[in-house]
Chain A
């Protein structure tokens, strides 16, 4: 019954055109820069084609950064989902509606914080001498020093804990809301069969929520790639290169250490190709 209208064209075309320009210009230009040998300090440049990419694969620090990024993705995504599902189920089982609302509000707070703020809050909490998070350790051991951020073996986990603090608690709220949308009949049926509570969730409710939980994981995988601010403030990639992810390394190559913009851009382009391929593939699988 709706008559033909010019609305879809006037509403969509300008916006999509602007989005396309704003996204394609930097994307294509990133590739162009990656094929040159630009440096921040020098105005001149020439085309070097793929030599930046070739150099990358001989660069041990780059390979380390790839490895750190993979570790970071796995640790933060797995821990976030575990915390979210664990706390979501706990709230569903033992919290009355009013208490649920209070917990939901509390659990949303950390994710709203700027990552810079979250990073500072925890950087100070992890301070070996004055930190509130390391205080229990000092108390128990009678003043021994525990410095998680400056030990290569613990730094990544210490930074990851902040990421999980922000996202795991927030996702717990979403898991709870998902559980609340489920029809109650299957749960009651399982209860009549004397299933234990954890069995009900492991075999009934969580499998019913498989699709939204996978989407949630997908969102976290994308967000985990944006960990730059957290790492920048808390460790700057250190100690050594223990927490140097790809974006951190690209940033320090491009701006802090040597100003090799093209080299950094080559790294960014590889990241872009990897993420676009991976996520497009995953997205099509999730949608199917």
Chain B
């Protein structure tokens, strides 16, 4: 028989975990519910769980030009930056992982150090530069800036992914007469695909969620969705809470789509460490 206090301790521990799990998602569930409420049901002193749902907020959001433009800009800017990151970052990561040279450590540190740069420090000069070149407030400027982010993040995460590919498979392919490039294409890429998908999804989430650079590099045409969403809150005294909640939901959905990919990625990273 276990002594009583230990069982009580376990019970408290389980309750704390359950509370943490509740705190993790409840604010979001509440936001999603508020997106379906009329303003009268949101602005209540006692939170209201039972209400007549309405789609007015969501259809308002989806019907606004500014939101649609923001959505379009976000998709194009993030999508292009991720594609550039894949095209440049994956091969570079493979070269670092498989063809070790004396700079490998320095290269990895350089790529990581790009993360230290305060975003303001990058955004201020870029704003001045893009203004001078005449590309301020355009998608190309945003894509180029975001590429710095996606290339470095994809490289950083893909190096260990390529290192995790068993060397024997690649050696066998060389023996079979494959060249270096086709080993990369036909062996390394497919074998590491799952981890690489995680790295790519991570870089997408990062640029989709990015705010400061987009805020400083756009004034009207190239605004991304986070900027548009943040502006909705500044519409005078009568804050349209239902609409605001709907826009938060819209903004949050794309990253959440990657939940499965990213948690699988985490699992594969730590399984590698175990072996």
Contact = CB atoms under 8 A, between A and B. Distances in A.
Interface of A: 1-3, 5-8, 10-12, 14-16, 18-19, 22-23, 25-27, 29-30, 32-33, 38, 87, 90-91, 93-95, 102-110, 112-117, 120-122, 124-125, 129-130, 132-133, 135, 138-139, 143, 165, 169, 172-174, 177-178, 180-181, 222, 225-226, 228-229, 232-233, 246-247, 250-251, 254-255, 261, 264-265, 267-269, 271-272, 275-276, 279-280, 283
Interface in B179-235: 179-181, 184, 205, 208-209, 211-212, 215-216, 226, 229-230, 233
A261 B124 contact: yes
A12 to B, nearest CB: 4
Most A CB within 10 A of own CB, among B17, B113, B181, B262: B17
Given A91-B17, A114-B251, 13 more contacts: A12-B95, A15-B88, A15-B92, A26-B122, A30-B122, A33-B128, A38-B128, A109-B259, A112-B262, A129-B45, A226-B119, A229-B226, A232-B212
Contact of B16 (A7, A90, A271): A90
Contact of A27 (B88, B117, B145): B117
Nearest to B90: A11
B122 A27 contact: yes
A143 B114 CA distance: 49
A24 to B, nearest CB: 11
Given A38-B128, A114-B211, A117-B252, A19 B118 contact: no
Nearest to B88: A15
- 3 interchain residue pairs of minimum CB distance: A29-B125, A15-B92, A268-B121
B20 A169 contact: yes
B222 to A, nearest CB: 16
B173 to A, nearest CB: 11
B102 interface: no
B20 A108 contact: no
Contact of A23 (B117, B181, B184, B226): B117
A11 B199 CA distance: 18
A129 B171 CA distance: 67
B252 A103 contact: no
Most B CB within 10 A of own CB, among A7, A103, A276: A7
A149 B43 CA distance: 18
A122 B110 CA distance: 36
A103 B21 contact: yes
B118 A275 contact: yes
A47 to B, nearest CB: 15
A29 B144 contact: no
Contact of A228 (B119, B180, B209): B119
B111 to A, nearest CB: 7
Range for the number of chain B residues in contact with chain A:
35 or more
Given A23-B117, A109-B28, A255-B216, A18 B151 contact: yes
Most A CB within 10 A of own CB, among B25, B128, B148, B179: B128
Contacts of A247: 118-120, 212
B263 A130 contact: no
Given A95-B17, A116-B230, A254 B124 contact: yes
A11 B21 contact: no
Nearest to A222: B115
Contacts of A6: 180
B47 interface: yes
A110 B24 contact: yes
Contacts of A103: 17, 20-21
A87 B124 CA distance: 39
Contacts of B273: 181
A220 to B, nearest CB: 12
Contact of A26 (B129, B147, B251): B129
Nearest to B32: A121
B55 interface: no
B268 to A, nearest CB: 11
Given A7-B184, A109-B256, A271-B120, A138 B45 contact: yes
B172 to A, nearest CB: 11
Given A5-B180, A116-B230, A94 B99 contact: no
A35 B151 CA distance: 30
Given A117-B251, A181-B274, A250 B120 contact: yes
Contacts of A181: 270, 273-274
A191 B171 CA distance: 45
Contacts of B113: 276, 279-280
Given A7-B181, A94-B10, A225 B118 contact: yes
Contacts of B42: 130
Interface in B229-251: 229-230, 233, 241, 244-245, 248, 251
